[in-house]
Every structure is written in structure tokens, then in C-alpha cells.
Structure 1
Amino acid sequence: MPPLKSERGTLRLGQSTWFNKLLHSLFPPDTEFTVVLEYPKPTPPQSCGPISFLEVFIGTRPVFILELNARADLMYESLRQAADEVIRARLGGLASRCPIPTVHAVSAMGTRLRFYHLDTTDVAGEIAPLSIPRHPTRVTETAPKERWDCDVLDADGEARLRAVVDAIKEACENVADA
């Protein structure tokens, strides 16, 4: 992995740059994969949302998405909930275009990671991990902080991310003319 040149509390732009380099090292430019950095449409300052997205394509078809959020967002239930909802919506939107049996996604809050996946062969497939439903009259923590359960800078976090990347690459070996 590329070395992280700043402290864990990376700047917003620095985080996108670092994860962009990381994904380019995991999906090198001289392969059939393309890493695309996408910034969401501007929103009012009081609204919440991801810093950026990194999507990995084989040919023109998506196989992986990484949602980047500020590290500080992890402290706030509303921002974790928003991040969870956004990544689930993105996964649902990508599923029909994904050429492999499972589309994977990661929500990053700083360097903390939460992993998601969806079976693209099942039109009624559920995104895992399952979402926590809101109670209509009680406060429900739908995106607990503990769900961002590993750090990409630690051995466990790196191993989990590499395992997802390896699964994607293996599945893509059988993709004809994406």
C-alpha cells in the first residue's frame, strides 16, 4: 500500500488523493481495471454527504465502490446514518450493471472501514450487512460506530481490503468483453 504521509486525521482532499493512490496500487493502470474519482454535486454547507467516491470498473462496468467520508463524521450518528444510506443506494444502483456475481463496497470514515456486498444474481438480493430499521417512535441507532470496525492502516484492515480486491479480481477473470 502507498505510505500515508500525513497523520490519521487527513485533510479532506488528502484523503481522496491517498485512497485514489491506494486503489490504483490495488487495481494497477496497466490492467483491465479503471479507477474513477467522482466528487458529489455541491450541497449546502449544512448538509452532510460523502467527500467523494472512487469506483472501479472493468471495461465500462462497475465492480467496486469506495465512499469517502471525513474521519470526524464517525462521531455523529446522523452522518454515519447518511453514509450508510448513500452507500446502500449506490450499491443498489450499480448491481444491474456489475458483470460479476457480487458487487462490493466500502464506506470509509477517515481510515476506518465498513464493508458491504450485494449478490447481483438475485434481483431480490439484500445488501449485507443488513440495515438496522428505524423505529417509528423511538430513537434507533441505525449505523453504530462499531460497524466501521477496522482501520486500513492496521494489518487486519489491510487484509480485509485485500481479500475483497482479490475476490473481485478472481471474479473478473471470467468476464468476457466488459
Structure 2
Amino acid sequence: MPFETDTHWPTRLVKLFKICRGQGGKGGMLESRYNGPVNAMLTYCLQVGLGEEFDYVIGPQVPADPDHPHSAIDFVVSAVIHDQFKPVLLIEIKDDTWATSATQRYHADAQMRQRFHAMLNACPLPDLHGLSLLGTSLRVYRGTVATYSVDPMLEECPSTEEVPPSNFLEGAWDRDLLSPGGLKEMQRIVSYIVTEVAKLS
């Protein structure tokens, strides 16, 4: 079944995620264990390299800012537009345990917003989407290029010492990427990207 009309993720793709989840903490593997399955998922969604066209490139990282060594992005999907790579989707991946920690959720949200700050101006589309994954728990971000704004809006940490209460951003990563709802969200985002990129060709 083609991705656009799927009602569920391919069984073997789901199995990749489950295998990696089962390897949590073993041999020093943390969130990086999900890079392979996420790459496979993105390739499936965008059909990268299939047919005669190579319209999209999935990069495991972008070069880090020398002054900020942790500024590399886990995955950037770039569209090839007028012989240039232009970012159209950002993905950050963290370990499953981040979903249960208010401090980690706070940092995951802040990191996504930093990514948008660094890359929104380079996006050729009206909106730049970002996926924050805590394991397979998904939160979708959308940056609007014209207004340089990011949705959902920033929720300020109520503590002046940036130590959030235990319920801070609780439920913000409320969708499982591997669920039918997660699939529909990916279908919506990919459809938007493909449609908008086609207008620029």
C-alpha cells in the first residue's frame, strides 16, 4: 500500500521500533538507537530515491555551530530546490524516559525552539514542521516563516530557577508515532511538504 493511503504503518517498520525500544540502556544505547527506524520511516514516507527523482535528502545531522557543539539536529529533511538543499522538516529524538521527566520535557521543548530559531529563515515553504520524539511519543511543532512564530506557543517555566513543576508540559507528547493517529499526522505533514515543494519546482 502506498504511504498516502495507508491506514497503519508497515508491520516490519513497527517491528524495527519495537526492537530498538527493547534495547534501551544496553551497551550505552539511548535515543540514538531510534535513528535507524526514524530514517527508515522518513524514507518510506517520502519515497526517497524511488523512481527517477531524488527530490528529498534525509540528513542525520547538520554541521554543528563551533560555538555550540550540541547544536546539531538529529534529522533534517531537505528538498532539492533550484540546485540547493532547503530544510522542510526537522526531527529531534530523545529517549523514552524524557516523557516522564518535567525537566527533560522542558529541555526537549527548548531545544526544538532553538532549532526553529536557527533554521526557520532557510525554509522555502510557508511553514516548517518539526517532530519532537521522546521514544515514539510525538509532539508536532510548526514554524511560520512570515511571522517567525512557532506553534504551539511557548509555555514559560513557572519557576524562576527553571526547575519546572512535575506536571510541566505533561501530556504535550500525547500522540504515539506508531498509532493510527501518528500515521495520519505524518500523512498530513508529508502531503503539505510535497504539495508546497511542487509549487517551487
When normalised by structure 2's length, the TM-score is 0.74
Q: 1:95-134 counterparts in 2 under 5 A?
A: 95-122=120-147, 125-134=148-157
Shift of 1:134: 2.6
Q: 1:87-166 counterparts in 2 under 5 A?
A: 87-122=112-147, 125-135=148-158, 137=160, 140-141=164-165, 143-166=168-191
- What is the one-letter code of the residue matched to 1:133? E
Residue 24 (structure 1) aligned with residue 24 (structure 2): no
Shift of 1:4: 2.5
Q: Is the 8 A contact 1:68 1:110 kept in 2?
A: yes
Shift of 1:152: 1.0
- 2:140, 2:194 → 1: CA distance? 17
Shift of 1:9: 4.9
Q: Is the 8 A contact 1:52 1:68 kept in 2?
A: no
Among 68, 72, 78, the residue aligned to 1:57: 78
- 1:143, 1:175 → 2: CA distance? 40
Residue 5 of structure 2 is matched in structure 1 by none
Shift of 1:137: 4.4
Shift of 1:34: 0.5
- The share of aligned pairs that are identical, in percent, is 20
Which sits farther off after the overlay, 22-31 or 111-120? 22-31
Q: Is the 8 A contact 2:62 2:76 kept in 1?
A: no
Shift of 1:51: 10
CA RMSD of the aligned region, Å?
2.5
Among 72, 76, 90, the residue aligned to 2:101: 76
- What is the one-letter code of the residue matched to 2:14? P
- What is the one-letter code of the residue matched to 2:78? F
Aligned length: 167
Q: Which runs of 5+ in 2 are unaligned?
A: 1-8, 25-29, 65-69
Q: Is the 8 A contact 1:52 1:67 kept in 2?
A: yes
* Structure 1 or 2: more helix by fraction: 2
Shift of 1:166: 1.1
Which one has a bigger Cα radius of gyration?
2
Q: Which runs of 5+ in 1 are unaligned?
A: 42-48
| 3-state SS of paired residue (1:4) | helix
Structure 1 pair 50/162, CA: closer, same or farther in 2 (3 Å)?
farther
**Runs of 4+ with >4 A deviation:** 7-10, 49-52, 136-143
